[in-house]
Amino acid sequence: MEQKFIPKSLAASKESGKVTWQTPSNIALVKYWGKKNPQLPENTSISFTLSNCHTTTTLTYGKRKDVKGTYDFKVILDGKEQEDFKPKIETFFKRIERYVPFLREYTFIIDTKNSFPHSSGIASSASGMSAIALCLMSIEKEININLTEEAFYQKASFLARLGSGSACRSVKGDIVVWGEHENIEGSSDLYGIPYKDGVASVFKNYQDTILLIDKGEKQVSSTVGHNLMHGHPFAEQRFLQAQENINKIKDIFANSDVDQFIALVESEALTLHAMMMTSNPYFILMKPNTLEVINQVWAYRKKTGSKLCFTLDAGANVHLLYPENEKETVQEFIKNKLAIYCKDKSFIHDCVGNGAKQLTI
Ligand code: PMV
């Protein structure tokens, strides 16, 4: 299957150029946690694509005079050259070179910036890797003009996945599925696909406010985290549960069942953390303020009948999800009652978006 991503014509023709993509972050509703080599998920996951949290990357490329040794690139973040990002990108390049054979033929400048603050605890790997993947695909498109739009995005997602698993869900679509599932047509372990089954209007413009509880470096890297699922006593059961939860969320989306959405999404978040608490070695990634927020959300829901709920990444920050018609009241509640649990009272309002955009700068 991977074979189809190896291009037929290998020679790069363009001397030089520049391309810019803006790619979003995403938040998983059914979580990906556990993988096989090379970056293949143990279970299907599904996410909302975000809108305001995004990365903008300009890739400048020029033919190398003398192609010797390894890749030739530099990385610039917010105007400053970043040596420490290079090893991750080098690993990414090694993994994708089979599919992007012109990688060694160019000198690249990867100039990138995030719309959210650096080290805010918001993972930039999903948007960052999908941005590089899309820029490379734009170069491929120059060489292979017959590439269809569908093939372009599919391969971009395939490449992004090899950079960071969840990045394959940051390419196209408002709701994205990654990982083969018997009830989702076209789903694949190799790339994410836009979710095409019925989705009630309430979920089309869902809101996500990200509470920045802890802005530090991640306590456990995703790589270490995913590896903890190997030999984990509850792993098999968890992977089955995720497959079942995909069936459930399909019905929830189709039937506009917001109460069941809340139950499923919160359970997924806590299960992800439960997996980490029961692995060897074990970790607690929530902070006291994460729990304070969760309790406040539950109390608010009980008191007001609101449909506000939470989800978590592999860290202490909280994503608050709510329907658009509650935007005003929930945002008031966040400002007045939840901001105190955030580092420097900081949070980011976001909502479901449509995926990556090519920019002309
Ligand atoms: O893409 P990675 O390897 O950083 O893994 C991301 C895992 C979670 O964010 C915790 C869940 C998910 O599905 O996005």
Query: Which pLDDT belongs to residue 198?
Result: 97
Q: Which of 313, 317, 319 to mutate to test the pocket of ligand 1 (most atoms within 8 A of CB)?
A: 313
Query: Which pLDDT belongs to residue 11?
Result: 63
Query: Which pLDDT belongs to residue 143?
Result: 85
Give the residue from 211, 216, 214, 215 showing the smallest Cα distance to 337.
211
Cα 98 to averaged position of ligand 1 atoms, centre (Å): 25
Considering all CA atoms of the chain, what is the largest pairwise distance in Å, rounded to the nearest integer? 69
CA 134 to chain centre: 14
Q: Per-residue pLDDT for 12 more than 70? A: no
Q: Per-residue pLDDT for 226 more than 70? A: yes
For the stretch 267-286, pLDDT in tens is: 999 999 999 999 999 999 99
| Cβ-Cβ contacts under 8 Å for 93 (sequence gap 6 or more) | 71, 73, 103
Give the DSSP per-residue string, 77-137: ETTEE-GGGHHHHHHHHHHHTTT-TTGGGEEEEEEEEESS-TTSS---HHHHHHHHHHHHH
Cα 273 to averaged position of ligand 1 atoms, centre (Å): 12
- Tell me the torsion sign for CA atoms 31, 35, 39, 44: negative
Q: Which of 32, 176, 275 to mutate to test the pocket of ligand 1 (most atoms within 8 A of CB)?
A: 32
Triad 224, 229, 232: Cα angle to 5°: 130
- Single-letter code of the amino acid located at 281: P
- pTM here is 0.96
Query: Which pLDDT belongs to residue 217?
Result: 66
Pocket of ligand 1 from Cβ distances under 6 Å: 28, 31-33, 45, 123, 125, 164-166, 222, 272, 313-314
For the stretch 116-163, pLDDT in tens is: 877 666 778 999 999 999 999 999 998 888 899 999 999 999 999 999
- Mean pLDDT computed over 199-204: 98
Query: Phi then psi for 322, rounded to 5 degrees?
Result: -160, 155
Cα 29 to averaged position of ligand 1 atoms, centre (Å): 11
Rounded CA-CA distance 124/164 in Å is: 10
Query: Phi then psi for 274, rounded to 5 degrees?
Result: -65, -35
Please report the atom of ligand 1 found closest to the CA of residue 31. 13
Which DSSP symbol is given to 38? T
Confidence of residue 10 (pLDDT cuts 50, 70, 90): low
The residues that bridge with 26 in the sheet, in sequence order, are 49
**Omega before 288 within 30 of 0, i.e. cis:** no
**Tokens standing for residue 292:** 């304070």
**Omega before 281 within 30 of 0, i.e. cis:** yes
Query: Which pLDDT belongs to residue 345?
Result: 94
Mean pLDDT score of the chain: 94
